[in-house]
Structure 1
């Protein structure tokens, strides 16, 4: 669905994605712009596209977790926040790893899931 207004930033970033469709950074930047604009479905799509080219993007998994939580998709929110935590740990990013752990506990409670229920995600 076409939005009534696209910011200049979004137009420029969409043009970059069209020119470089295999560039994960272009998709990430467009996803972040969509997220700031409140376009959740579009943001989810772009962060998923980012992961196709860069599956080790902890930031994309983190953002997806936040977005999936906002649309009440607990399983995908938990999957992505757990993945983000692991990837942040692999990068020795203790601050974001700790935040990911905190959010994972919050999401398990919020969506009334147990860790073993999300293993097959």
Structure 2
């Protein structure tokens, strides 16, 4: 029963589509303020969102905001996120090398995989 999901998680296929994923980990008691500041940054830079998901953890559980962007994010967004107090850490998952990293950012590069065993073994007809 623990593996049943009510809806598909787009995070599982976003990297194949060239998207960039940010998971922003938030200090206890800072969720509402951090969320509003992040939304202001998104508005300011007119970034194109695919999905935004947030969880305001109960006592002792971590709060976070996960944002999936179409394509790469502007370096200015990272600079502004770095200035928000209440953000503990930002995990960035991308297909591209990111040059500008904020003090709170941790980057994970995931290369695009566009082939499979099936396509390699299939003969052209």
TM-score scaled to structure 1, two decimals? 0.27
The structure whose residues are more often helix, as a share, is 1
Higher relative contact order (CA 8 A, sep 6+): 2
- Structure with more of its chain in strand, by fraction: 2
**What TM-score comes out, normalization by structure 2 length?**
0.26
